[in-house]
Amino acid sequence: LPPLDGYKCLNTGILERLNAGEIVIGDGGFVLALEKRGYVKAGPWTPEATVTHPEAGAQIVGVNCHFDPLTCVKAVKMMKEGVEKAGLKAHYMVQPLAYHTPDCNCQGFIDLPEFPFALEPRILTRWDMHQYAREAYNAGIHYIGGCCGYEPYHIRAVSEELAPERGFLPAASEKHGLWGAGLEMHTKPWVRARSRREYWENIRPASGRPKCPSLSTPESWGVTKGHSDLLQHKEATSTQEMKHVLEKQKKVKTSA
């Protein structure tokens, strides 16, 4: 496959690109990446929109954030079924987390005890990303991206998985060999033996944290948008308010 240099993006608009049959890869990682870099304190979270009513005329339908890739692909598949059942047509988009969230409740990763600053053990490997890209493509999704947790190597893995369909390899692909091919040069023979797709496709990575559970219990406050507990604060939480929050949390935990 040719490297990225051989590729020219003639259409700049997202709809033009999707209408032309292009598979678009989103670059992801926005909110948490900015937060990690110290740009986001509280409040100005990127507005998120999930289009659930195709009859409203949406040309692109999909989900963004809060759940892991395979959960999001599953959700978009259901939306696609709904759109098609209504006799409508749309493009499909998915921008999931780069974290595994099999233990989430319906509100997604914000209810996990690790949110937002201890999520790293849940991060997807590049090989998980290959699987995600393939599943999304097979589901008929042509805008395949990422939200919180995505790093450049994740997006590169998504692009590499879909290189045969897109006709070119992504930027920075030349820095490594596909499926660990560069390990052929490794000094240790047992590592050299890992320079193949089959090895990485079947790996079940250990977390290396013997005292940690593999799944967490999400918080379940049972409140959602519009509830007085969810108001955006203009000032930092006062000591009195924090006391109230901690008491409430204790109650939620004991009733769970």
| Binding residues vs Zn ion (CB under 5 A) | 31, 65, 147-148
For Zn ion, the closer of residues 61 and 147 by Cβ is 147
In the complex, the smallest distance separating the C-beta of residue 119 from Zn ion, rounded to whole angstroms, is 11
For Zn ion, the closer of residues 95 and 159 by Cβ is 95
Q: Scan for tokens 């890739």, then name that residue.
A: 69
For Zn ion, the closer of residues 49 and 56 by Cβ is 49
For Zn ion, the closer of residues 98 and 169 by Cβ is 98
User: Do the beta carbons of residue 152 and residue 165 sit within 8 Å?
Assistant: no
Exposed / middle / buried, residue 221 (Cβ in 10 Å: 0-12, 13-18, 19+): middle
Distance in angstroms between the alpha carbons of the first and the last residue of the chain: 54
- Put residue 209 in one of left, alpha, beta given phi > 0 → left and psi -120 to 50 → alpha: beta
User: Do the beta carbons of residue 59 and residue 88 sit within 8 Å?
Assistant: no
Annotated binding site for Zn(2+): 65, 147-148
Q: Please tell me the number of Cα atoms within 13 Å of 22 on its side-chain side.
A: 19
Give the C-alpha separation, 98 to 154, whole Å: 8
User: Do the beta carbons of residue 23 and residue 137 sit within 8 Å?
Assistant: yes
Structure tokens at 198: 């089959």
Annotated binding site: 65, 147-148
In the complex, the smallest distance separating the C-beta of residue 147 from Zn ion, rounded to whole angstroms, is 3
In the complex, the smallest distance separating the C-beta of residue 221 from Zn ion, rounded to whole angstroms, is 20
For Zn ion, the closer of residues 121 and 182 by Cβ is 121
In the complex, the smallest distance separating the C-beta of residue 96 from Zn ion, rounded to whole angstroms, is 8
For Zn ion, the closer of residues 31 and 141 by Cβ is 31
Give the C-alpha separation, 147 to 143, whole Å: 13
Exposed / middle / buried, residue 122 (Cβ in 10 Å: 0-12, 13-18, 19+): buried
In the complex, the smallest distance separating the C-beta of residue 145 from Zn ion, rounded to whole angstroms, is 11
In the complex, the smallest distance separating the C-beta of residue 99 from Zn ion, rounded to whole angstroms, is 10
